[in-house]
Amino acid sequence: MEFIGKKYKMVSSENFDDFMKAIGVGLITRKAANAVTPSVELRQDGDHYVLVTSSTFKTTEVKFKPGEEIDEERADGAKVKSLYTFEGNTLKQVQKSPDGMEVTYIREFGPEEMKAVMTAKDVTCTRVYKVQ
């Protein structure tokens, strides 16, 4: 997987505010999150992977083993369960909150860019990242 260890910087974002509203993120956190341009990096650590999302606002790091559900804390502090799986160069994440809401993240890694498509309820957000 040639995208392991590459750092991707966001270059475009569509519908992110509506997506955050759909998952219950508050106004102040949404304003801060909309104001930053995050970077994403996927690293490998033995049989685990580490997904790092960093910005001037906040850095989050999630360690997971594909196919195993983990407890995770979202960037807004919400406690969720996530299941990560790989399909070729695509990392799929299904996140479930205690209230039963399901959020899907599809991150498609390419040699020059990474595209993230996030869906919650009937809201879809697309963010495109370029290799730094």
CA dist 52 and 101 (Å) reads 23
Element (H, E) at 120: strand 113-120
This prediction has a pTM of 0.94
Residues 6+ apart with CB under 8 A from 129: 8, 9, 10, 11, 39, 40, 113, 114, 115, 116
Instruction: Name the residue ranges covered by the structural domains of the chain.
Output: 7-131
**How far is C-alpha 16 from the chain's CA centre?**
12
CA dist 104 and 84 (Å) reads 10
Residues 6+ apart with CB under 8 A from 70: 62, 63, 64, 81, 82, 83, 84
Per-residue pLDDT of the chain (132 residues; tens, 9 = 90+): 789 999 999 999 999 999 999 999 999 999 999 999 999 999 999 999 999 999 987 899 999 999 999 999 998 889 999 999 999 999 999 999 999 999 999 999 999 999 999 999 999 999 999 999
49 DSSP assignment? E
pLDDT at 108: 97
CATH node for 7-131:
2.40.128.20
The residue count for the chain: 132
